[in-house]
């Protein structure tokens, strides 16, 4: 199981951030042919069988990877730093969304709102538990409540990734309840 996690983390690196590590390119929407991916992984001494790849996709705790409808291509559902267009349609968010962060970022977020940093979007969740887990990755967790309903009414766009992560461009501090 630990191997699967290791391979899954490497796949996240390839499919979100650095496909050049194994000499491949993603298309404009982040997809790559599974055949090409497996070949490139083997060439770079990270061989993976098709079965193992499918097991990673199926068992991944956050369903980070998606297979195309024809079964031939794979991409990460969110979390990219590469300049790709995921093509999610804007949709109506729940009234409240949560963002987990670390206490040391709080002052800066109060000053500047939530910024997307290296990623394409600010990431939010409808689950307080998920927000707490994400915040814990960075330090002492702080859970911010975001008035997504008001943002949406004010014209901000929201997107829902294939694996259930809510995305938006920027969250001004005025929409954030710091608790
Ligand atoms: C913080 C996981 C200072 C922000 C999760 C976060 C997520 C600010 C950090 C996905 C700030 C960026 C993304 C400001 C934001 N001043 N700090 N103005 N605005 N920050 O990792 O949201 O496991 O890029 O609060 O489930 O933590 O990768 O973003 O602490 O969906 O699939 O800057 O990663 O998914 O950190 O996590 P990240 P994130 P995966």
Q: Which tens digit of pLDDT belongs to each residue from 67-88?
A: 999 999 999 999 999 999 999 9
- Give buried/exposed letters for 86-98 (b at 16+ CB in 10 A, else e): bebeeeebeeebb
- What's the pTM? 0.90
Look at ligand 1, atom 5, and give the residue with the nearest C-alpha. 134
Dump strand ranges (E) for the chain: 32-33, 65-67, 73-76, 96-102, 122-124, 141-147, 159-160, 166-168, 176-177
CB of 106 closer than 6 A to ligand 1?
no
Residue 67's pLDDT is: 97
The predicted pLDDT at position 130 comes to 97
Closest CA to 16 of 60, 71, 74, 75: 75
Q: Is the pLDDT of residue 4 over 90?
A: no
* Mean pLDDT over each residue of the chain, to the nearest integer: 96
- Which tokens is 108 given? 């800066």
Interval 23-68: pLDDT, tens: 999 999 999 999 999 999 999 999 999 999 999 999 998 999 999 9
Q: How far is the CA of 128 from the centre of ligand 1 (A)?
A: 15
Confidence (pLDDT) at 179: 86
Residue range 158-174: mean pLDDT, rounded: 97
Q: Would you say the CB of residue 116 lies under 6 angstroms from ligand 1?
A: no
Which residue matches tokens 């068992």? 59
- Pocket of ligand 1 contains residue 63 by CB under 6 Å: no
User: Average pLDDT of 148-160?
Assistant: 98
For residue 3, what pLDDT is reported? Answer: 82
Q: Is the pLDDT of residue 2 over 80?
A: no
């Amino acid at each position: 199981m630990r191997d699967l996690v290791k391979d899954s983390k490497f796949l996240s690196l390839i499919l979100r951030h650095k496909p050049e590590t194994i000499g491949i390119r993603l298309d404009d929407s982040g997809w790559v042919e599974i055949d090409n991916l497996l070949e490139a992984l083997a060439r770079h001494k990270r061989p993976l069988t098709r079965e193992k790849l499918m097991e990673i996709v199926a068992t991944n705790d956050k369903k980070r990877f998606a297979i195309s409808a024809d079964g031939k291509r794979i991409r990460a559902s969110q979390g990219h730093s590469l300049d790709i267009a995921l093509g999610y349609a804007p949709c109506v968010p729940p009234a409240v969304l949560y963002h987990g962060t670390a206490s040391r970022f709080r002052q800066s977020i109060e000053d500047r709102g939530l910024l997307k940093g290296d990623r394409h979007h600010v990431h939010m969740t409808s689950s307080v538990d998920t927000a707490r887990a994400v915040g814990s990755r960075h330090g002492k967790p702080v859970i911010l409540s975001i008035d997504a309903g008001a943002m949406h009414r004010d014209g901000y766009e929201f997107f829902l990734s294939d694996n259930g992560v809510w995305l938006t461009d920027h969250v001004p501090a005025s929409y954030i309840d710091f608790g």
